[in-house]
Amino acid sequence: MNEERWMREALRLARRGYGRTSPNPMVGALVLRDDRVLGRGWHRAAGLPHAEIEAMNDARRRGHRLDGATLVVTLEPCSTWGRTPPCTEAIVQAGIREVIVGAIDPNPRHAGRGLSLLRAAGVRVTAGVLAEECAELNAAFNHWIVHRRPLVTVKAAMTLDGKIATAAGESKWITGPAARAFGWRLRRGCDAVLVGIETVLADNPSLLPRGRGPWRQRRVILDARARTPLEAQVTADAWARQTIVVVGPEAPPDRIRALEARVEVWRAPRARRGRSPGGAPRLDVEWVLHRLGAAEVTHVLVEGGGEVQASFLMAGLAHRIAFFYAPRVLGGAAARRAVAGEGARSWAEILRLRNVRWRRVGGDLLLEAVVEAPGTVVKSGVHGQ
């Protein structure tokens, strides 16, 4: 049997759950006999059957027996009760003879347990087939399940000289339609989209993927002084209850009450040091990330502006970047930068990237990379002007 061939097919199935399965991982599965597919399945949403169950049920609907068959699955089958029963029991009861697994369960409490239970029941198990690809598919889930904080991706669209807006704040449509569509797809794959209050005041964005929904994404606004307008899209549209406005200790109580009538409001502590260029206090972003993790947010897309981007990046809180570059040059010392803030204080603190990948998206370029933390990590804080 060509195990990698079938694992790639299982990965293709798993990706059908993109943007729908959180806080569960994306998983795909196949039931095979003599190199012939009997059933296919993927995890569709949290609380619904897992991919292994879907694949076995698909095979049964097609009139196939499962005893002696092979199951290919991108992630180690679960062995404990959660929203659904353990898949290991269903696999053994179905008479599956062999299980081929991609990635091991990242949860330290469960890693390898499902495989051990299957082997103890007489099932032949092969693990680690395309393990890196299977693990990368669920990078956000893997990070969250271990650290209980979301994976953070910083996304920006800029000119070739790193500018996101003119000095006057004009910024609409730096990149072309293909890049914007790609950005909306990134939103769909995340649990929350985060911006600072200046982005809301300047652009009045929806912060949602395009289309009719329904959308499950949370929208997080860092707004120390509770200045988010009640008529903004994030507070007045059909998804307003999925908006979180994070305010600081200085926020006026009457503004907090007005916002609470429409959205969720979190009261965050101040960062230990620093204020924004406008003089507003900085919010403790690490506190925000811990709170989001407790709310089962596994992946946050940070979209701006420049001070917010810099605060996440230079504090060592960002894990991935997605930077779109348009073939344009804005120039000007006063033009707004994609990454603002104080910057690295020495070459030792410079931000380094790995697993760098460039791709063309329409007429623009996309840089995707994994972020390595600066040599000296500064205390995190983001302005909410």
What is the CATH number for 213?
Answer: 3.40.430.10
Q: Does any domain span residue 104?
A: yes
Instruction: Give the structural domain span for 297.
Output: 148-372
CB 70 within 8 A of CB 99: yes
* Amino acid letter, 68: G
pLDDT of residue 326: 96
pTM above 0.75, yes or no: yes
Q: Which residues of the chain have a pLDDT value below 50?
A: 375-385
pLDDT of residue 346: 84
pLDDT of residue 377: 38
For residues 137 and 260, membership in a common domain is answered with no
Q: Does any domain span residue 380?
A: no
Q: Of 126, 142, 158, at which residue does a domain stop?
A: 142
For residues 222 and 111, membership in a common domain is answered with no
For residues 256 and 362, membership in a common domain is answered with yes
Q: Does any domain span residue 325?
A: yes
Which residues are designated catalytic? 52
Half-sphere exposure of 375 (CA within 13 A, CB side): 7
| Beta strand segments in 223-318, E | 243-247, 264-267, 270-275, 281-283, 299-304
Q: Does any domain span residue 338?
A: yes
Q: Does any domain span residue 270?
A: yes
Show the tokens assigned to 80.
């404990």
For residues 11 and 152, membership in a common domain is answered with no
For residues 174 and 304, membership in a common domain is answered with yes
Q: CA dist 369 to 154, 196, 240, 372, Å? A: 10, 23, 32, 9
Q: Of 96, 125, 142, at which residue does a domain stop?
A: 142
pLDDT of residue 214: 78
Q: Does any domain span residue 382?
A: no
Q: Does any domain span residue 383?
A: no
For residues 128 and 154, membership in a common domain is answered with no
Rg of the chain over all Cα atoms, to the nearest angstrom: 23
Number of folded domains that form the chain = 2
Q: Of 142, 163, 186, at which residue does a domain stop?
A: 142
CB 261 within 8 A of CB 366: no
pLDDT of residue 117: 96
Distance CA 240, CA 316 (A): 30
For residues 114 and 66, membership in a common domain is answered with yes
pLDDT of residue 304: 82
For residues 134 and 221, membership in a common domain is answered with no
pLDDT of residue 369: 97
pLDDT of residue 277: 52
Q: Does any domain span residue 30?
A: yes
Dihedral, CA of residue 236, residue 224, residue 216 and residue 40, to nearest 10: 160
For residues 355 and 225, membership in a common domain is answered with yes
For residues 138 and 167, membership in a common domain is answered with no
For residues 313 and 181, membership in a common domain is answered with yes
For residues 124 and 94, membership in a common domain is answered with yes
**CATH code for position 27:** 3.40.140.10
* Amino acid letter, 358: W
